[in-house]
Amino acid sequence: MSAGHDHGASQANEKLLAIALALTASYLIVEVVGGLLTHSLALLSDAAHMMTDVVGLAIALVAIRIARRPADRKRTFGYYRFEILAAAFNAIALIGVAAYILWEAVQRFLAPPEIQSIGMLAVAGIGLVVNIISISLLQSGSDHSLNVKGAYLEVWSDLIGSIGVIVAALIIRLTGWAWVDAVVAVAIGLWVLPRTWLLLRESLHILLEGVPKGIELDEIEQGLLSLPGIAAIHDLHVWALTSGNSSLTAHIVLQTPGTEQEVLSRAQAWLNEKFAIHHTTLQIEDSACSQLSFHDRRAAGAHRREHDHDHNHDHDHDHDHAHAASRDQPPH
């Protein structure tokens, strides 16, 4: 994926997010007013999720713009990670909202209020249309950006919520069972939580610099070892700055000294073609004795220093002992 393509995809995602944000923010006002007038917890539950959508979409939009800032002397990797922080924030916000809705539903079970089902049905119908439009806008970008995926999942949760509210309104209208409203609210919360956890886990994996999704470390190691001129691989690390932006570092031991440029070009071309890893830092070594890791070399150095210290100490002690003995001997 070229830099130009990434920039174009980022601009496309930004435009789609802006449209989805405008639609969602407009409907949020309608849904909050409708929920208060109809006394529907299901509507207010959906409005709470819609509020996190508005915040999440706004953060996602800002994240894309910030991520495009060039690297500087303080942030040499740029601002790509801001998108992942936005996705993690959205997930945490959704978990909090779901927990609040579950608590509120318990209160409604104990004292169910009178529900105005017609108004509830009308507001939920408008929300369904808005969510369908937003989902169609964000679907293409959700496969390539974890940030957009977070916003996409939030809108999906609201689509399910709108359907649930419509079903609840119809049941309440036909049967008068006001408790169905609380049941639907609980169902919306339980539906959102597992998907939100997956988003949070994926975001934390990137923040902890885990191996990117779809990449196997053993496969990279074995593939590099199969290339001509490479004798060994060690200190291999693969991580992602943000979705679809992977980096790799490794130490490569050469089979034949003097083939550095040839081996380096071959390894970089293979990583680019096989795994789309464009940012690589490969340290070429022509001796197998360099295979010790940093920690191993540090431990070995500490051991040598300790050994040298003990040796010098023993030598000094023996020298002092011999000097003292020579002083105690009587002169001839």
Q: What percent of the chain has pLDDT over 70?
A: 78
- The reply to whether 284 and 145 lie within a common domain is no
Rounded Cα distance between 288 and 257, Å, is 11
| pLDDT tens readout for residues 246-303 | 899 999 999 888 788 899 999 999 999 999 898 899 998 876 544 444 444 444 445 4
Residue 315 lies in a domain: no
Last residue of a domain, one of 255, 270, 291: 291
- The reply to whether 178 and 199 lie within a common domain is yes
Q: What percent of the chain has pLDDT over 90?
A: 11
Residue 326 lies in a domain: no
> Which residues are CB-contacts of 210 (< 8 A; sequence separation ≥ 6)?
239
What token pair was written down for 74? Answer: 């303080």
Q: Which long-range contacts (CB under 8 A, 24 or more apart) does 132-138 make?
A: 132/159, 133/20, 133/23, 134/20, 134/23, 134/24, 135/159, 137/16, 137/19, 137/20, 138/16, 138/17, 138/20
Mean pLDDT of the chain: 76
Any idea what the CATH number is for the domain that residue 163 is in? 1.20.1510.10
- The reply to whether 121 and 257 lie within a common domain is no
Helix (H, G, I), strand (E, B) or coil at 315: helix
Domain limits at 74? 3-207
| pLDDT tens readout for residues 117-167 | 788 888 888 888 888 888 887 776 666 666 677 777 777 777 877 888 888
Rounded Cα distance between 117 and 104, Å, is 19
Given a cut of 70, is residue 310 above it in pLDDT?
no
Number of domains composing the chain: 2
Helix residue spans in 143-284 (DSSP H): 146-175, 179-207, 217-225, 260-275
